[in-house]
């Protein structure tokens, strides 16, 4: 695996890929786990050349969030990527990605980003979409892979790629879970032992909502309120449990097809998100 710290170095490597050989990119913020590595293997199914990126993007963190303490495990990440057969790693520093303060931003439409996660993390998707556009311009992939655990992020990226006519196929990778159902996340490492034992409840709550919908319960509002009440009863601070349309994450009634139930909640000092397609 070749490691590139500069845009020029990555672009030179990208230019050396033979014409006609598909290239896939998997953007990450590092602190890799099995979910990330599954995306690397999935990328190999679609491309002859796989590029991973590691960059902790300050623009998508709000003041007071965990930018400074976000886990940075570069040596271990490199070892995992090498073992997964990744061809190139692009790992720039902030000065390389933002040699001067960013003045142009991707501004996703309010109806996509002022809901769900965007309601509780204003500006997050603006910063995320901006850096993803930069990474796609730098790496010039044919295919880009993102995990479905960040469901709203995936929707925003797909719409951005379509609106800008980027020649990139965006593929969502299935959420990888621990044996007890907890979605793998870099932030799981913040959990205490007791919190880690409690954390699978988030997925259990989503599973109950999905099962109720499949059983014919059409009262989505009641389902959401009951799910949040269960989380509160076990010490969580839920931000939302929401049944939405998969296509655009707008409000849905439970009798519609193509639904997803999403949740975000704080357990102690850790914010966890998850979702389950119905």
Domains of the chain listed by start with CATH number:
2-173 (3.40.50.620), 186-273 (3.30.1300.10)
Q: Would you please indicate which residues are annotated as catalytic (active-site) residues?
A: 36
Q: Which 3 state secondary structure label does DSSP give 227? A: helix
Instruction: Give 38-56 pLDDT, tens digit per residue.
Output: 999 999 999 999 999 999 9
Query: Per the annotation, does 150 bind a ligand?
Result: yes
Residue 218, token pair as written in the block: 């059409």
pLDDT at residue 213 greater than cutoff 80: yes
Mean pLDDT over the full length of the chain:
96
Compute the distance between CA of residue 49 and CA of residue 201 in angstroms, rounded to an integer: 39
Instruction: Give 74-116 pLDDT, tens digit per residue.
Output: 999 999 999 999 999 999 999 999 999 999 999 999 999 999 9
Q: For residues 145 and 132, is the Cβ–Cβ distance under 8 A?
A: no
Q: Which 3 state secondary structure label does DSSP give 147? A: strand
Percentage, residues of the chain above pLDDT 70 = 100
Dihedral in degrees, nearest 10, Cα atoms 148, 153, 155, 159: -140
Q: What string of DSSP letters covers 240-264?
A: EEEEEETTT--B--TTSSSEEEEEE
Q: Which of 36, 30, 187 is nearest to 93 (CA)?
A: 30
First CA to last CA across the chain, in angstroms? 39
pLDDT at residue 254 greater than cutoff 70: no
pLDDT at residue 64 greater than cutoff 90: no
pLDDT at residue 211 greater than cutoff 90: yes
Percentage, residues of the chain above pLDDT 90 = 94
Query: Per the annotation, does 118 bind a ligand?
Result: no
Query: Per the annotation, does 186 bind a ligand?
Result: yes
pLDDT at residue 238 greater than cutoff 80: yes
Dihedral in degrees, nearest 10, Cα atoms 265, 268, 271, 277: -40
Query: Per the annotation, does 149 bind a ligand?
Result: yes
């Amino acid at each position: 695996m070749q490691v590139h710290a500069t845009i020029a170095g990555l672009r030179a490597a990208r230019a050396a890929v033979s014409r006609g050989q598909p290239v896939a990119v998997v953007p990450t913020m590092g602190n890799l786990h099995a979910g990330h590595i599954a995306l690397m293997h999935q990328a190999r199914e679609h491309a002859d050349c796989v590029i991973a990126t590691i960059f902790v993007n300050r623009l998508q963190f709000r003041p007071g969030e965990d930018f400074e303490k976000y886990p940075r495990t570069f040596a271990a990440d490199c070892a995992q990527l090498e073992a997964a057969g990744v061809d190139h790693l692009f790992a720039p520093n902030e000065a390389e990605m933002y040699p001067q303060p960013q003045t142009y931003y991707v501004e996703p439409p309010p109806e996509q980003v002022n809901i769900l996660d965007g309601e509780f993390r204003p500006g997050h998707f603006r910063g995320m979409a901006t850096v993803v556009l930069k990474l796609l311009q730098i790496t010039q992939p044919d295919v880009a892979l993102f995990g479905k655990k960040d469901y709203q992020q995936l929707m925003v990226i797909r719409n951005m790629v379509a609106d800008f006519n980027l020649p990139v196929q965006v593929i969502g990778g299935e959420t990888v879970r621990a044996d007890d159902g907890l979605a793998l996340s870099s932030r799981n490492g913040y959990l205490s032992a007791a919190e880690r034992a409690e954390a699978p409840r988030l997925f259990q709550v989503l599973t109950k909502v999905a099962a109720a919908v499949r059983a014919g319960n059409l009262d989505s509002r009641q389902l959401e309120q009951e799910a949040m009440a269960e989380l509160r009863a076990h010490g969580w601070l839920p931000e939302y449990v929401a049944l939405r349309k998969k296509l655009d994450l707008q409000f849905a009634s439970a009798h519609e097809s193509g639904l997803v139930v999403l949740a975000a909640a704080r357990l102690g000092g850790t914010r966890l998100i998850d979702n389950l397609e119905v």
